[in-house]
Amino acid sequence: MGIKKHILVIPGDGIGPEVTTWGKAVLEQIGRDFGHEFTFDEAIMGHVAIEATGNPLPDETLAKAKASDAILFGAVGHAKYDNDPSAKVRPEQGLLKIRKELGLYANLRPIMLFDELLNASSLKPEILKGTDILFFRELTGDVYFGEKKRTTDFASDLMNYNRYEVERIARKAYEAARLRGKRLCSVDKANVLETSRLWREVVQEIAKEYPDVETEHMFIDNAAMQLVKNPKKFDVVVTANLFGDILTDEASQIAGSMGMLASASIGDGTGFFEPIHGSAHDIAGQDKANPLASILSVALLLEISFGLKEEAKRITSAIDKALKAGYRTGDIADSNTDKSKILGTKAMGSKIVEML
């Protein structure tokens, strides 16, 4: 039985429109192949929205977001704001506001390696082969949202966590671990920080609800080291906002290219799916962007929001097939790549749709 779902596409800035075009094309193909009915709407956010309305997240976009079953997002950002720290209205504000309005408290980032790209990483292939990690980063608490103070010679940021914030992300991570390798690693700094002691205490309590999942607790400094020493030892990792920010960026280097990484921000309602690569204005409009992260975000959307594992697997297999056949975009090509198989955004997107 096919399902019927409504998806909002927010292309955003820079290369966002180029890559989401192919994410949408893949969704349409999956819909045809599996008998699902996907309907689409589009909305603006970020720099394009500021230019059009003066607001990085227009009310109309938010209303459409709340009415959708899932959101496929491109990227926000523009160089003009990077060079002007005093700008009061910024594209990124749209992203923070939509997370808040939709109650997106968990950021998921899968680190999945394709054998063909093992050499793209700075780590040795034998250390990497077989790495498959799913990170859960808490998004609404921690030092990012605590009270801030500043005088000429002093600054402080308050690190806050509430019990319920830890409970809800721990449950999401355990549910995922149950469907994967049944191993969960919770990362904290409980030897020093009071917030981490609460974090560990709560995770230990939630662990009792999931006796089938093996739980490990690890300090952040050790976790950062183990991630490059032996990434295969991790399956599901759950951690606080600050530690998650740092660890997921470290892990993106394991995969070799940011052009290959998808992410999801989820809560208890509509999920938000996006590649992690940013707006990359330097290559926008040149048919150079790698659409694979947006396509992998679609696989994540199908699995996480709609529970369609087989459809998600079909997408990752199609990408694997294209890579095995030697096809690359510029960012993942190396000196051994056959020049005739280095593809632009459109050709790579078409290739994946064909491989499906």
Q: Kindly list the catalytic residues.
A: 144, 189, 221, 245, 249
Q: Which of 302, 298, 185, 205 is nearest to 251 (CA)?
A: 185
**Longest CA span, the chain:** 64
| Amino acid at the residue 204 | Q
Burial 214-247 (b: 16+ CB within 10 A, else e): ebebbbbeebbeebeeebeebbbbbbbbbbbbeb
In the numeric block, the tokens 């998004």 are attached to: 139
CA distance 173 to 228: 22
List of residues 6+ apart from 134 with CB closer than 8 A: 108, 109, 110, 111, 176, 180, 235, 236, 237
CA Rg value for the chain: 20
State the burial class of residue 299 (Cβ atoms within 10 Å of its Cβ: 0-12, 13-18, 19+): buried
Task: Take residue 337 and report the two structure tokens written for it.
Answer: 């790549």
Question: What distance lies between CA 46 and its chain's CA centroid?
Answer: 18
For the record, the structure tokens of 215 come out as 């739980």
- CA–CA distance, 251 with 132 (Å, rounded to integer): 11
Q: Would you give the DSSP letter of residue 191?
A: T
